[in-house]
Amino acid sequence: MVISEKPTAAKKIAHALDESGAPQEIKRGKTSYFQCKRGANDLLVVHALGHLYELKQTEKGWKYPRLETEWVPRYEVDKKAKNVKPIISLIKKLSKEAEVFVVATDYDIEGSLIGYLTLKYACRTNPEDAQRMRFSTLTKNELQMAFDEQLGGLDFQMIESGHVRHEIDWLYGINLTRALTLAIKKAAGWFKIVSTGRVQGPTLTFVAERDQEVNVFVPLPYWIIVANGLYQGLELELEYSEKRIERKEKAEAVVADVKGKTATVQNVKKRKISQPALPPFNLSSLQSEAYRHFGFKPSRTLAVAQKLYLDALISYPRTSSEKIPESVDTKSILDSLGKMRNYKSIVQAILDSGKLVPRQGKKSDPAHPAIHPTGEKAERRLSSAEKKVYDLVVRRFLAAFGEDSIRETIRADLQCEEHIFYLRGIKTLKPGWTDFYGEYASREERELPRLTVGNQLQITSVENEEKTTSPPARYNPSSLLKMLERESLGTKATRSGIVDSLKSRGYTLNDRFEMSNLGYAAYETLQRYVPQLLSTEFTRGLEEQMERIQGRERSREQVLTSAKNDLLNLLESFKEREGEIGQALVAGLKRFWKEKEEIGPCPKCGSGTLLIIRSPKTGKRFVGCSNYRETGCDQTYPLPQKGSIQPLDKKCEYCGHPMLRVISRGRSWETCVNWADCPGRQDDLKELERRRKKNDQ
């Protein structure tokens, strides 16, 4: 029996291992398996559906602390996982016919644990007797090689590390979330789940501290000099030597000194810069580039990359490596890519150069190489997002074969009276790898005429421009992910989910990670009463302990016992001040709900407040006046019924009504509460109606 992780992977494995390339798929109710023949072996290829088993507390009651757990079928914990039940039943039945078990799940911590748990609880066999397939792509050749050259057995250190990670994440997530939720219930009688976790606490801290920096930032004025000069009929932009001038009087004096004057070239410096090719992607750098070019959240990039991997188009995406080892047949991949119209000319240039060894990065991963294309052709029509991520991966792979890009920078120093100006230019002498990377490469070009010492420019315009200092930039999904990676918090597979959780739980308001009142309530409460939960050092310490299991420096039992003791101490301190903590969270919840529901003053009665209301009869939402019950004010406005609504602190430029942000199906747009009648929104309404009709067709 060969155990894969997903249905798509099972199909790929079965077709690769069957001698005829046409395995028999046998359906059993809502699931299926494959029968294959390979040499003297009859194979049954079955699939899991990610984790078939989850942790569940052994002690009854929605209380804390709860420290003892057991593995149970996932559908016993998650009522939505009903599709797991027939899969477990099928594997249990088929396993009785199997003599040898081969784990073919993803070769990482999660995949290894999935295979182990499936063997132990569904197959009811000894995992120590099982064999292991190890592969990084789902291509036919690699799958056949992985089966024929199986590893001696399972990597139990990897399994133990994954096992304890699940246990510790469960312990901290369940107990701390219950502690916060029950504190609220005790203080106000509400049952409102407020969650936190082992990595979520420090992540919330990063965002809160940056948000505070932005909020307390006081912008200061400064002035810059904006000047242009004329040389041989060309208008050139001049840069003043002082980037910031603190006093307006000084800026005005500079303008007065140089206005209408001539600037003389004092010095010309040229410098060549060699830029080596970027290494192939690991998961973090792929997520970063996909956000930069496409605006994809890290979690979306991972999901898309996972689909491409399951279609055998790219290698396994959950990798830290920036290296392509010699075992990867890059020549064969290049030959296959060369048959694709989009990459034919690039591949030919690489083959003509004779440089068939890609640039290697510094980071490595013992389990998988850097993300790279397999050269396989898609067997289905790719979605727009899949095409974008695939093209990005391919071009980054091809760029790794390119020569250094050579650029030349030029700086001319000019003097006018007592003042120094600069002329800066940059041009590409040899594009090298940037040609292969295409539109994803940043290539600013600024040509300068040939200048020599003594040349003169006529100052044609000069003025001072007032600016203000800017606050530090808020986090975005990509920069927050990099922060977690830099601080060694979470894993490459879990970080994107942690980043998304801040918004899904109401702690932040948008993709720029602006803290909500609920987020501040959770952060400030934890900071005051249980600061250890927000500590980067505390969480990193747990990470290091779990990693030491893989290095055989610690046992799972030692790490788990230590984590339980730390958790008990935290919960004991929490229990002592549960009432105060509950009151603080309740106050934050009230501010959060007010922030989410209040639109602004009612324009009809003047004394009421416009609120987002949901009709108890129809379930539809609308905006109404808070004075409806008291004074009968019947001012209402319709609202879009899909997506989330976020009130904005600004007025409509057309009608003066409060503005809203609507977020639906990944799109975000701003409109006013009076959108149905606003004279400036009618074009928007027509466009929405056009799209609706198009979708109906």
Catalytic positions? 316
Return d(Cα 327, Cα 401) in angstroms, integer: 17
Return d(Cα 650, Cα 216) in angstroms, integer: 21
Return d(Cα 1, Cα 479) in angstroms, integer: 43
Find tokens 């984790």 and name the residue.
51
3-state DSSP assignment of residue 395? helix
Return d(Cα 188, Cα 328) in angstroms, integer: 61
Rounded alpha-carbon distances, angstroms, from residue 84 to 29, 163, 298, 395: 12, 20, 27, 38
Return d(Cα 235, Cα 640) in angstroms, integer: 51
Other Cβ atoms less than 10 A from the Cβ of 58: the count is 11
DSSP 19-52: TTS-PEEEEETTEEEEEEEETTEEEEEEE--S-S
Return d(Cα 111, Cα 598) in angstroms, integer: 46
Find tokens 């079955």 and name the residue.
46
3-state DSSP assignment of residue 221? strand
* Cα–Cα nearest to 158, from 122, 107, 199: 107
* Residues in Cβ contact with 206 at an 8 Å cutoff, skipping those fewer than 6 apart: 475, 480, 483
Return d(Cα 589, Cα 516) in angstroms, integer: 10
Q: Are 408 and 447 in contact (CB under 8 A)?
A: no
- Extract the tokens encoding 368: 């998988």
Find tokens 């529901």 and name the residue.
597
Q: Are 613 and 624 in contact (CB under 8 A)?
A: yes
One-letter identity of residue 179:
A
Rounded alpha-carbon distances, angstroms, from residue 324 to 38, 109, 370, 371, 660: 30, 21, 6, 8, 49
Which 8-state DSSP code applies to residue 497? H
Q: Output b/e per residue, 200-213; b: 16+ Cβ within 10 A.
A: bbbbbbbbbebbee
* Cα–Cα nearest to 313, from 455, 515, 139, 170: 139
One-letter identity of residue 697:
Q
Q: Cα 688 vs. chain centroid, distance in angstroms? A: 30
420's enclosing H/E stretch is: strand 419-430
One-letter identity of residue 215:
N
Rounded alpha-carbon distances, angstroms, from residue 697 to 298, 686, 693, 694: 33, 17, 6, 5
Return d(Cα 583, Cα 121) in angstroms, integer: 44
